[in-house]
Amino acid sequence: DAGVTQSPTHLIKTRGQQVTLRCSPKSGHDTVSWYQQALGQGPQFIFQYYEEEERQRGNFPDRFSGHQFPNYSSELNVNALLLGDSALYLCASSSLPGLAPDTQYFGPGTRLTVL
Amino acid sequence: GQSLEQPSEVTAVEGAIVQINCTYQTSGFYGLSWYQQHDGGAPTFLSYNALDGLEETGRFSSFLSRSDSYGYLLLQELQMKDSASYFCAVREISRGGATNKLIFGTGTLLAVQP
């Protein structure tokens, strides 16, 4: 049973560029959430996708956008990269909200460095 | 605003018991989760409390008091491999019910010494 996978593992970009990160959820999961984790901080919620639609969004600018495909995989796109976007980007998959136990499975993350 | 407070660092020795506290202030609350994250790794789920009281899972236990907006993670029989960051996270509730949005604390770095 494959867990959550993310690609690429590491990425280096320069300011102003655009980046696309990818995530495949755990088998049986249909909800994908994206988090940004700066060094020494806890993960910050970016947004969540369910049924190919953005269902919830955190306090992130419109430069951050996403997509979910029919097979439940998801992409995170960041435009006009800033130095402050350097972080570990985590994807978490889960089933429909409300089902117990509450467990989100995180992928290994993509380490983005913006120079 | 929304905030979760945890101690930044805790040090303990192998075989000991350690408690990591978490106090929260959020606009909506459905439950409190605990995650472990080794350096450079993915956060992994440890425990979840939706109701007041103690939940026990092997060497790990978690407690919640909703009236005090407080919870803790208890780690027993500490092992070297328990050295990691530990995060409490509030599961939000919206008008539509429970959500899967997690609000994380800043994390507690646990160092287990021989």
The per-residue pLDDT string of chain A (115 residues; one tens digit each, 9 = 90 and over) reads 679 999 999 999 999 999 999 999 999 888 899 999 999 999 999 999 988 999 889 999 999 999 999 999 999 999 999 999 999 999 999 876 655 555 789 999 999 999 9
Widest CA span of chain A, in angstroms? 42
Q: Count of CB contacts below 8 A, A vs B?
A: 66
Report whether the peptide linkage leading into residue A25 is cis, meaning its omega lies within 30 degrees of zero.
no
**Which residues on A lie below 8 Å from B44 (Cβ)?**
106
**What residues of B are in contact with residue A41 (Cβ under 8 Å)?**
106-107
Does residue B28 have a pLDDT over 90?
no
Is-contact B110 B82, C-beta < 8 A? yes
Using the Cβ of A104 and the Cβ atoms of chain B, whether some distance falls under 8 Å is answered with yes
**Residues 15-54 of chain B whose Cβ lies under 8 A from any Cβ of chain A:** 31, 33, 35, 41-45, 48, 50
